Structure 1
Amino acid sequence: MDSGLNFIDLILKASFLVQLVMLTLVALSVISWAIIIQRRKTLGHALSSAKKFESRFWSGVDLSKLYSEISARGNKSEGLEALFTSGFKEFARHKKNNVHSAGMVTEGAHRAMRVALSREIEKLETSLSFLATIGSISPYIGLFGTVWGIMTAFIALGEVKQATLQMVAPGIAEALIATAMGLFAAIPAVIAYNRFANKVEKIESHYANFMEEFSNILHRQAITQEVKSNVSA
């Protein structure tokens, strides 16, 4: 004869509010795992794309040719390509308008790349705040279910003349399941958020370093143009 408590039976026999709490936690867990899988794929793609572009950028290719290749693809550039195209486009615009001040040209390109950097990091951080929210509130939602379940169990216990542990055990057990489910939803979300936030920070640093290096290249080209303009004048 099995005297143990069946996990499924405890959930099915739980009060409506506790079941609602459990259902909410299951939904939050599913959402968090969907975000984790999607963010992992996105961040991995961002890092691999950055390495691929940098390999092409530092191969000695002409920057005008590289810009034309990216623009010819038609699809919107992202990651380091977005920083490069925004900076070089601004550089080319100043060049077309015969702006010969190296400082003005470089500052304009750098400002355009800063805007692009902000947009790209915002894309990478999509849904991370929601993941952090799930990690923060899930234990409290589970605790609410536990408190309610235990309170209901003791109220029912007070209505009988002879109370036994066997009578109150199922109610307490079903209540504690809510806490366990809250932790089950929260722990992966917190771990994933910390890991992804750290990865986004590294990618941002990677982008910022490229932005500064590219700005130096554009600055050198702007100085060369400025010198040629002064000589010809």
Structure 2
Amino acid sequence: MGHPSNFDGGDPELGHPLPGNFFGMIYKGGVIVPMLFGMFLMVIVFSIERFIVISKAAGSGSVEHFVRKIQSLLSAGSIDTAIAECDKQKGSVANVIKSGLKKYKEVETDQTMDIEQASLAIQKDIEEATSLEMPMLEQNLTIIATLVSTGTLVGLLGTVTGMIKSFAALATAGAPDQAALANGISEALINTATGISVSTVAIIMYNIFTSKIDKLTYSIDEAGFSIVQTYASTHK
């Protein structure tokens, strides 16, 4: 970035970045810009990691289609087939539903429980299985959420340092140092733009992932409700 070819006169320290030269502009952005690029890289890395994990949690096929199939099998009383479908689907949603179905079979053979107790036992088992799966889905999302605000704040810090340099150039005796003034303003604007970019990407990715997790949670709740209701309606 500090290569002489990126600057007027081949001087990275005193020369201005060539018009439209991105690397030269970044080099003149000061010490805050590398921090912002590090934060941007963190957003990209954690976004890829979350995308992989959440995609695996959804399983091998459409979650909506899977839930509908489980509901259809429950209505037909094919619990073993439903468990086999969970093994095919894999992922967090299938794991939770499979746990609920196994509990369904377990309470079905327990003569000491009435319908209400059995239904509560199934519901509790599903809730416990969900609580075990959810932390894996939400892991590292707090880092992305933190980068939403810190990206803007660090960018603002770079903006302030750039403006301080600009005003220092104006404060010199006699004619203002035009080069220092321009460099200070350039540094301020580069930091502002980079900080906003980091925060924008971070908040977009955070909202995408939370939306995906909410969708998976809704599918688990929908299937869990169907399991409990099916048991209650078929064991009156």
1:194 is the counterpart of 2:207: yes
Percent identical: 23
In structure 2, what is the equivalent of residue 217 of structure 1? 230
In structure 2, what is the equivalent of residue 94 of structure 1? 107
Cα contact 1:49–1:79 (8 A) shared by 2: no
Closer, same or farther: CA 13–70 of 1 in aligned 2, 3 Å: closer
1:63 is the counterpart of 2:97: no
Q: What TM-score, normalized by structure 1, do the two folds share?
A: 0.77
Give the Cα separation in 2 of the matches to 1:89 and 1:118.
17
1:27 is the counterpart of 2:43: no
Unaligned runs of 5+ in 1: 224-233
Of structures 1 and 2, the one scoring higher in RCO (CA 8 A, sep 6+) is 1
In structure 2, what is the equivalent of residue 229 of structure 1? none
Cα contact 2:46–2:144 (8 A) shared by 1: yes
In structure 2, what is the equivalent of residue 177 of structure 1? 190
Aligned length: 215
Q: What TM-score, normalized by structure 2, do the two folds share?
A: 0.76
Relative to structure 2, which stretch is displaced further, 172-181 or 34-43?
34-43
Give the Cα separation in 1 of the matches to 2:216 and 2:25.
46
Cα contact 1:105–1:222 (8 A) shared by 2: no
Closer, same or farther: CA 164–32 of 1 in aligned 2, 3 Å: same
Give the Cα separation in 2 of the matches to 1:110 and 1:214.
8
Relative to structure 2, which stretch is displaced further, 200-209 or 136-145?
200-209
For residue 161 of structure 1, give the secondary structure of its aligned residue in structure 2. coil
Give the Cα separation in 2 of the matches to 1:87 and 1:54.
13
In structure 1, what is the equivalent of residue 50 of structure 2? 39
Closer, same or farther: CA 79–11 of 1 in aligned 2, 3 Å: closer
In structure 2, what is the equivalent of residue 5 of structure 1? 17
What is the deviation of 1:154? 2.5
Cα contact 1:99–1:105 (8 A) shared by 2: no
Closer, same or farther: CA 130–92 of 1 in aligned 2, 3 Å: same
Cα contact 2:169–2:180 (8 A) shared by 1: no
Give the Cα separation in 1 of the matches to 2:125 and 2:217.
16
For residue 17 of structure 2, give the secondary structure of its aligned residue in structure 1. coil
For residue 98 of structure 1, give the secondary structure of its aligned residue in structure 2. coil
Cα contact 1:101–1:222 (8 A) shared by 2: no
Equivalent AA in structure 1 for residue 36 of structure 2: L
User: What do residues 80-119 of structure 1 show as CA deviations (whole Å, max 9, x unaligned)?
Assistant: 3222222223333334443241111111001111122233
